[in-house]
Structure 1
Amino acid sequence: MFFNLSVQLKLTNHHSSQRRLASSLGVAVWGGLLVAAWVVSADFAFCQDSNTNSSSVSALKSENGDSGAGFSPMRGNWKAASFGGDGPIYFHKTESGGERIEMYAGDPITGIRWTGKFPKDNYEIRLEARRVEGFDFFAALTFPVADEHCSFVLGGWGGGMVGISSIDGMDASSNQTTQYKEFETNQWYKIRVRVDEMAVTCWIDDEEYAVVPRGDHTLSIRIEMDPSLPLGIANYMTRSELRNIEMRVLNAEAAEVLGVSDVTKKTNESDASDNTSKENKR
């Protein structure tokens, strides 16, 4: 189903340039402005201004260590997606109070779906995933984009294909997001997806792998992934594990879907709940 022997390899060369300032005073002024801008941006409750480029802002926040701010764990509402022929799924509690999800190989697909509240727009979701056994995709994250959906696929079509399925009817093996990456067995990889008003942006280990501008394309999923809707994670004839699944909202409208009026309040309440749980264990 997902195999395609014609693997496309896209390599992106990043070039950097340096500007020379005329005097040491100019250097000091620019340095001060950059520090001030970072401090101001860290104080915002929301993650992006509506007139700002999504990819650039996200990359800047990642470099400044802000990519972790405001995330809340997603636990307790994951259920088997019931693809038919699913492998066993096990939910393990970690020593730190987190959750590790083990999904065995199915015939051909095994997956989970989120049954709790979740926004359709202006959010980020992140997790860690690894392939334990097998040679195909170990994580396909299906997620909403307003009234559409798509899947960010890692390791498909024989083991190394990365991309978004589907864009304008073309799946991850044959559209502008198609890339190849070698994934090591038993190695954890960080996955992050951002859906905002400007674009859908996907990262692996904080490296940007796909950007799809909003409004320029039609997004959809392959029919085989329907059981993942509206939000789910699946593998293909592969045993994989997931951990540290978290999300954050980017504006007040997205927060309202979760039943909170303040993004910061949502995060603080989640942190307080986790701390209380750990104290009770002791």
Structure 2
Amino acid sequence: MVRPPHLFAALARGWLAVAVCVVSADLAFCQGADTDSSSGTVVKAENREVSARFTPMRGQWKPASFGGDGPVSIKKTESGDELIEMLAGDPITGILWEGDFPKENYEIRLEARRVEGFDFFAAVTFPVADEHCSFVLGGWGGGMVGISSIDGNDASSNETTQYKEFETNRWYKIRVRVDEMAVTCWLDDVEYAVVPRGEHELSIRIEMDPCLPLGIANFMTHSELRKIEMRKLNVESGSTDPAAVKVESKTEQAN
């Protein structure tokens, strides 16, 4: 089952610790932010700093070869980051990562914005073991969001399909996690899709092949990218929470 975005609620009064409630169509439960286990403490990645920090992905992006590509420029900013500009192509412009990148247990995040145009301004294509898929933002006329493809159905026609109105020249945060349990995608820190591993066949549309194994593209749109970062995850084996990571317990840290 591909679950829709969760609704999170926090009860503050009368509690010493924040309880996080996760709700889906067929499951609702609450658990404390920290849960002890015999091998450490399992916590929500977004609730606590983990040992694997995000590191910038710089210097190894190159233009992908779609045919009909628009110009791609990579500029250094005053902060030392890279600003990647992808002008509108006929129809696709994209970039490809040439450096090492894991197939499992990682997160990648970035910021993207549509400068001009009316279709997807960012489609992040990424590996899931020996498979690949794409997180598409603003496709099919400008507002479709989803994962392409699941069981042969692209982002416009599967369980992850949603609509969002994107503002021109506004930066949006994108985050993708691939762990042992699921593929999870966020937009502006809101969970948009969770695809359980082993329950679905993942693939990409053939047009996105030039972005394999890791790349970002747009469609007849002028867009910009910045703050592209990644980190490797140490996901605890057997965890039922696709957003959980393993960190050292307080006892282990003391030693």
Specify the TM-score bucket, using the shorter chain as the normaliser.
0.7 to 0.9
Cα distance in 2 between the residues matched to 1:230 and 1:15? 33
Question: How far does residue 61 in structure 1 lie from its aligned partner after superposition?
Answer: 3.0
CA contact (8 A) 2:52 2:233 kept: no
Cα distance in 2 between the residues matched to 1:136 and 1:130? 12
Match of 1:189 in 2: 172
The unaligned stretches of length 5 or more in structure 2 are 19-30, 236-246, 248-255
Match of 2:233, as an amino acid? L
Cα distance in 1 between the residues matched to 2:214 and 2:6? 33
Which of residues 84, 92, 98 in structure 2 aligns to 1:101?
84
What aligned pairs does 1:143-182 form with structure 2 within 5 A after superposition? 143-182=126-165
Match of 1:163, as an amino acid? G
CA contact (8 A) 2:5 2:192 kept: no
Match of 1:270 in 2: none
Match of 2:184 in 1: 201
Runs of 4+ in 1 over 4 A off after TM superposition: 10-13, 15-20
Question: How far does residue 15 in structure 1 lie from its aligned partner after superposition?
Answer: 7.8
Question: How far does residue 100 in structure 1 lie from its aligned partner after superposition?
Answer: 0.4
Cα distance in 1 between the residues matched to 2:79 and 2:125? 27
Cα distance in 2 between the residues matched to 1:235 and 1:219? 20
CA offset digits 1:72-122 (Å, max 9, x no partner): 000011011110000000001000000000000000000000011000111
How many residues align? The count is: 220
Normalized per residue, the structure richer in strand is 2
TM-score between the two structures when normalised by the length of structure 2? 0.78
Cα distance in 2 between the residues matched to 1:17 and 1:79? 43
Cα distance in 1 between the residues matched to 2:117 and 2:50? 31
The unaligned stretches of length 5 or more in structure 1 are 1-9, 50-56, 253-263, 265-282
Question: How far does residue 177 in structure 1 lie from its aligned partner after superposition?
Answer: 0.3
Identity of aligned residues (%): 72
Q: C-alpha root-mean-square deviation of aligned residues, in Å? A: 3.1
TM-score between the two structures when normalised by the length of structure 1? 0.71
Evaluate the alpha carbon distance shift between residue 13 and residue 94 of structure 1 in structure 2; reply closer, same or farther with a 3 A threshold: closer
Cα distance in 2 between the residues matched to 1:13 and 1:143? 23
CA contact (8 A) 2:109 2:175 kept: yes
Cα distance in 2 between the residues matched to 1:236 and 1:210? 22
Match of 2:156, as an amino acid? S
Cα distance in 2 between the residues matched to 1:122 and 1:15? 24
Question: Which one has a bigger Cα radius of gyration?
Answer: 1
